[in-house]
């Protein structure tokens, strides 16, 4: 990838990035053309991955039209969403945690609006709530649906809704906070992790704010305000004194100058780069976009996805895929429909159990996703998905079916196709030659005598798909 020469992709900048250049809309030109690489980059960040038809359409349509399509629910999304919500209601009644995780994975795989699922995953990690403590599938699914409903909408509305969300109230003990015995957990995380960040509040702010959340209870599975248990006295938070209630504290956090910068930084890390640490000047235009649009997240996401910095070397393949992004990306690219329950269990072995983040800080992400154990588990999952031989997944994510659909019948055609589908050609020539050598040598393998010529050929096609998925470049988003 060619980008403006303002630094390196690993965050060790040779020169400070120019914010004016960074946030100007990307305009393709001879030096930075709109091509398969940049289309694939957009789909990885905004939609887990693209199948071949989506990639080709994106290249043809150009960046602006493709971004708008990703930001807009398609005509069949409403029916899909309604059907999945009905299924969630049945799962909640059974309180089945495995089905809960499988349900969300099925949504990610099948949705005609993948950006909203990508953002729901972002918010799940931002408002990290674990069923390990909540122990209520209905509450967890209700929170997930709230995050999805507001994923690209108003962060202000979301922060108020999450504050009264039953799963969050159990997770951070708001439901136990009573007059004279305020619990500080939610007030602390509201400021530290959800809206402001460390250094933008005091311990006294937390103590006073905690009093404002007293009397918040759960009754019949819903938020209930118990005035008798609420501390109605004056409280001083951020230097402002009043008889504040919980909603006032949330509003005051949203009005704090640090809030827009905090959310902008989180969005930058998710969509642009985990390795490039933006300074205040670089981040300010994105923060100002949030303020100007009353915290409409969709507008900030549009600004990111259409910017110069998003299509630059500073962003390109600078994020490590989470386990969910890794698996869902493979499946969506191959247009598969695997067993979501088996997939949920497999992802736990790789380090990401949906609805069970490790702490209130969520998953660390970045290089923490990868070690010798999890990398082997990723390779094993890739093989299970595409080999057609794993009893849990069968042939419901079959590379051979995709090759036939797009008219790639030979082994050489298959290799070129998978390199473009999964890596958009981003593989060193030496590695490409190694894969080509495998294909030549595999013709001499000692195959089982009962295998037909067609069996051997299809096995080689699936094997080359698997080998592409095990390349280090595929771990990067």
Taking residue 121's Cβ as centre, other Cβ atoms within 10 Å add up to 24
pLDDT value, residue 12? 35
Mean pLDDT value across residues 441-449: 81
CB-based contact 134:106 (threshold 8 Å): no
- Reply yes or no on whether the pLDDT at 93 is more than 90: yes
Task: Report pLDDT for 2.
Answer: 32
Q: What's the rounded mean pLDDT across residues 386-406? A: 90
pLDDT tens readout for residues 138-150: 999 999 999 999 9
- Tens of pLDDT along 375-391? 999 999 999 999 988 88
Q: Is the pLDDT of residue 72 over 90?
A: yes
Question: Parallel, antiparallel, or unpaired: how do β-strands 240-242 and 216-219 relate?
Answer: unpaired
Q: What is the DSSP letter of 156?
A: H
Predicted pLDDT at 10: 35
DSSP 8-state secondary structure symbol assigned to residue 181: B
Which of 182, 91, 83, 158 has the alpha carbon at shortest distance from 131?
Answer: 91
Instruction: Return the number of other C-beta atoms located less than 10 Å from residue 234's C-beta.
Output: 11
pLDDT in tens, 191-227: 999 999 999 999 999 999 999 999 999 999 999 999 9
* pLDDT single digits (tens) 305-340: 999 999 999 999 999 999 999 999 999 999 999 999
Q: How far is CA 54 from CA 32, 159, 421, in A?
A: 21, 34, 10
Q: For residue 282, what are the contacts with CB-CB under 8 A and spacing of at least 6?
A: 17, 19, 22
What is the DSSP code string of 247-316? HHHHHHHHHSHHHHHHHHHHHHHHHT-SS----HHHHHHHHHHHHHTTTBHHHHHHHHHTBTGGGSTTTT
Domain ranges across the chain: 26-71, 323-475
Q: How many residues does the chain have?
A: 477
Over residues 414-419, the mean pLDDT reads: 96
CA 274 remoteness from chain centre: 13
- Coil, strand or helix: which one is 191? helix
pLDDT of 298 over the 70 cut: yes
pLDDT of 11: 35
Ramachandran area for residue 197 (φ above 0: left; ψ -120 to 50: alpha; else beta): left
Helices 77-94 + 97-110 axis angle, to 10: 170
Average pLDDT of the chain is 94
CB–CB of 406/417 below 8 Å? Answer: yes
Is the pLDDT at 13 greater than 50? The verdict is: no
What average pLDDT does this structure show over 357-365? 96
Measured distance CA(214)–CA(223) in Å, rounded: 13
pLDDT-based confidence at residue 368 (cuts at 50, 70, 90)? very high
């Amino acid at each position: 990838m060619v980008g403006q020469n303002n630094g390196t992709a690993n965050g060790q900048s040779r020169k400070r990035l120019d914010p004016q250049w960074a946030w100007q809309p990307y305009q393709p030109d001879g030096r930075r053309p709109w091509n398969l690489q940049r289309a694939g980059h957009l789909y990885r960040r905004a939609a887990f991955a693209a199948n071949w038809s989506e990639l080709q359409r994106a290249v043809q349509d150009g960046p602006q039209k493709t971004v708008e399509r990703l930001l807009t629910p398609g005509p069949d999304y409403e029916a899909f969403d309604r059907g999945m919500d009905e299924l969630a209601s049945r799962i909640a009644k059974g309180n089945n945690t495995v089905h809960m995780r499988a349900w969300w994975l099925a949504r990610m795989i099948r949705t005609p609006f993948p950006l909203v699922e990508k953002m729901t995953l972002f918010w799940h990690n931002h408002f990290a709530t674990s069923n390990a403590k909540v122990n209520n599938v209905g509450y967890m699914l209700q929170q997930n649906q709230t995050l999805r409903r507001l994923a690209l909408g108003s962060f202000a509305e979301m922060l108020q809704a999450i504050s009264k969300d039953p799963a969050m109230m159990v997770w951070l003990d708001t439901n136990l906070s009573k007059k004279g015995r305020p619990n500080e957990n939610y007030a602390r995380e509201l400021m530290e992790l959800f809206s402001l960040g460390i250094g933008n509040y005091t311990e006294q702010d937390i103590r006073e704010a905690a009093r404002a959340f007293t009397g918040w209870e759960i009754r019949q599975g819903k938020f209930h305000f118990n005035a008798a248990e609420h501390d109605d006295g004056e409280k001083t938070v951020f230097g402002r004194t009043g008889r504040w209630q919980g909603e006032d504290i949330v509003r005051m956090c949203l009005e704090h100058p640090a809030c827009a910068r905090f959310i902008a930084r989180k969005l930058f890390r998710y969509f642009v780069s985990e390795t490039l640490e933006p300074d205040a000047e670089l981040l300010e235009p994105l923060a100002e976009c949030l303020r100007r649009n009353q915290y409409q997240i969709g507008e900030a996401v549009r600004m990111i996805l259409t910017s110069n910095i998003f299509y630059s070397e500073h962003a390109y393949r600078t994020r490590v895929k989470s386990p969910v992004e890794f698996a869902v990306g493979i499946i969506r690219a191959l247009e598969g429909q695997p067993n979501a329950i088996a997939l949920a269990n497999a992802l736990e072995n790789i380090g990401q159990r949906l609805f069970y983040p490790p702490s209130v800080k969520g998953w660390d992400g970045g290089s923490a996703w990868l070690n010798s154990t999890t990398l082997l588990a990723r390779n094993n999952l890739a093989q299970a998905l595409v080999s057609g031989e794993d009893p849990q997944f069968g042939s419901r994510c079959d590379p051979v079916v995709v090759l036939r659909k797009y008219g790639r019948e030979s082994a050489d055609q298959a290799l070129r196709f998978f390199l473009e589908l999964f890596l958009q050609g981003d593989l060193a020539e030496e590695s490409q030659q190694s894969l080509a050598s495998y294909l030549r040598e595999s013709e001499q393998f000692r195959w089982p005598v009962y295998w037909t010529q067609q069996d051997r050929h299809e096995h080689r096609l699936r094997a080359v798909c698997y080998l592409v998925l095990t390349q280090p470049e595929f771990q990067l988003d």
